[in-house]
Structure 1
Amino acid sequence: MRTDYENWVPLTVSNIADLFSDLPITWSLAGGWALDLHLGKQSREHSDIDVIILRDEQESAYDFLSREWKLYKAQDGVLMPWVQGEFLTDTTDVWVCKNQDSPWAFQVMLVDTFENQWIYRRDKSIKKPLNEIIVWTNEGTPYLRAEIQLLYKGGSSKVREKDFMDLQTMLPILSTQEKEWLTLSLQQQFSEGHPWIGLIHKYDKKEH
């Protein structure tokens, strides 16, 4: 078990691309870096770096990464070693480092799918075709679609200041369809309302 949650020296985007390019699974960058790749520039400092893989492909990822990396599953606020042969059915977050004493290098987030659909774990009625959740940079680096990443941020039980800042940064470049999907998804998850919905509507009115 490790408790040094702030002990990060994250890999770069190009490091991640080089590492995962040899892995024949569906993967993409996520988190704040995914938004910055969509933006085309770095908008703020990033304390970590996240990669999304499909839960069904975790065994291939484990076999490949465990050759040179130590993998820790995050479950109920505790980081425990992910051991060979263990299939993670509920864990969504894996922390990765070189050895038990080295800083964290990146996180792997496991996403659920069903019949070629990405399933949003906080509200399983929200879904998208798998072939529509990833976008590629001109250099060929895959990243999670901006509106999906913003849903993960806004749909969290604890929306952080940086998440709100990310929304404000992304609003000017989101398409009408992307904003509509994000709004509808937030309305679906939060039937009592969500503060971001009003912000998106307010921005649209200001622009028009």
Structure 2
Amino acid sequence: MRRTDTRTPNTTPLPAAIQLPWWPGNWDPWMPHQLAAKLADIDARWCVVGGWALDLFTGVVHREHEDLEIIVPRDSFPLIRQRLEPELTFYVSGAEGQWPVDTAGTAYDKYQQTFGRDESTGKFVLDVMRVADTGVWELANHPEIVRPWSESIEFTGAGVPYLRPEQVLIYKALGINDAEEPRLKDSNDFLYVLPYLEPGGRAWLEHTLALLRPEHPWLRTLDLVTTG
């Protein structure tokens, strides 16, 4: 999933990008439990996001996943990289293509997505999104929407951290770049997870979505569920 970074634009030209195919056929994503084993005891906050986070919440894999996405604080990315780099090469990914992390220059600050690639297979296995961490979770492009990390991350019984489902769904509701309508698979994810949401999580999602997109089609569904 390609996302737009929200930091102040840097007018310095970007280095020349390389073109590494990143569509689904060039992904062979790790499973969340595999990644958790590799990052065991690391001194960095991280959690699974996207569709996999919803399946970790419900305990059921309800569809195939094209990738594995996690978020980490920007300052913690070097720790993640150091732990995984014996197996992976990391590339900053943006609209122009990709850049090896060490030569990404201004692209590193412009784009938050960082793909981990297994060079022995040529497949991407992990999407690491480097995010701001001011002590709370903050919704991209909406700094007024925050939540304590203690209320934002849950763990499976096996210890895999994932972002709360209502917070995953607000990303999906707003579209890839906070501008488009939800994709079909995101709307399907919403309908799948909705019966599992706790009342507090459902209320948070409805309230937040009403603030940001008062005409959003998911609000009618949320209202029907709430009012019965």
Same fold (TM over 0.5): yes
The CA RMSD over aligned residues, in Å, is 2.1
Structure 1 gaps, min length 5: none
> In structure 2, how many angstroms separate the alpha carbons of the residues matched to 1:19 and 1:77?
31
Question: Do structure 1's residue 149 and structure 2's residue 168 form an aligned pair?
Answer: yes
For residues 50-61 of structure 1, the aligned pairs below 5 Å read 50-61=69-80
Q: What residue is the counterpart of 2:142 in the other structure?
A: 123
Give the TM-score normalised by the residue count of structure 2.
Answer: 0.82
> In structure 2, how many angstroms separate the alpha carbons of the residues matched to 1:59 and 1:136?
23
Question: Do structure 1's residue 132 and structure 2's residue 159 form an aligned pair?
Answer: no
Q: What residue is the counterpart of 1:173 in the other structure?
A: 196
Q: Specify the SS of the correspondent of 1:182.
A: helix
Shift of 1:58: 1.8
1:106 is matched with which residue: 104, 123, 126? 126
> In structure 2, how many angstroms separate the alpha carbons of the residues matched to 1:86 and 1:23?
27
Structure 2 gaps, min length 5: 1-17
| Deviations 1:28-86 (CA, angstroms, capped at 9, x unpaired) | 11111110011111111111111111123122223333333111112235222111796
Q: What residue is the counterpart of 1:74 in the other structure?
A: 93
Q: Which amino acid aligns with 2:19?
A: R
Shift of 1:204: 2.5
> In structure 2, how many angstroms separate the alpha carbons of the residues matched to 1:84 and 1:23?
26
Cα separation, partners in 2 of 1:58 and 1:46, compared to 1, 3 Å: same
Cα separation, partners in 2 of 1:84 and 1:61, compared to 1, 3 Å: farther
Aligned residues of 2:92 and 2:104 also touching (Cα < 8 A): no
1:4 is matched with which residue: 14, 21, 24? 21
Among all aligned residue pairs of Structure 1 and Structure 2, give the percentage whose two residues are the same amino acid.
Answer: 27
Q: Which amino acid aligns with 2:215?
A: G
Give the TM-score normalised by the residue count of structure 1.
Answer: 0.89
1:39 is matched with which residue: 54, 58, 69? 58
Identify which range, 60-69 or 77-86, moves more after superposition: 77-86
Q: What residue is the counterpart of 2:12 in the other structure?
A: none
Corresponding pairs, count: 204
Aligned residues of 2:20 and 2:98 also touching (Cα < 8 A): yes
Q: Specify the SS of the correspondent of 2:133.
A: strand
Q: Specify the SS of the correspondent of 2:93.
A: strand
Q: What residue is the counterpart of 1:188 in the other structure?
A: 211
Aligned residues of 1:112 and 1:121 also touching (Cα < 8 A): no
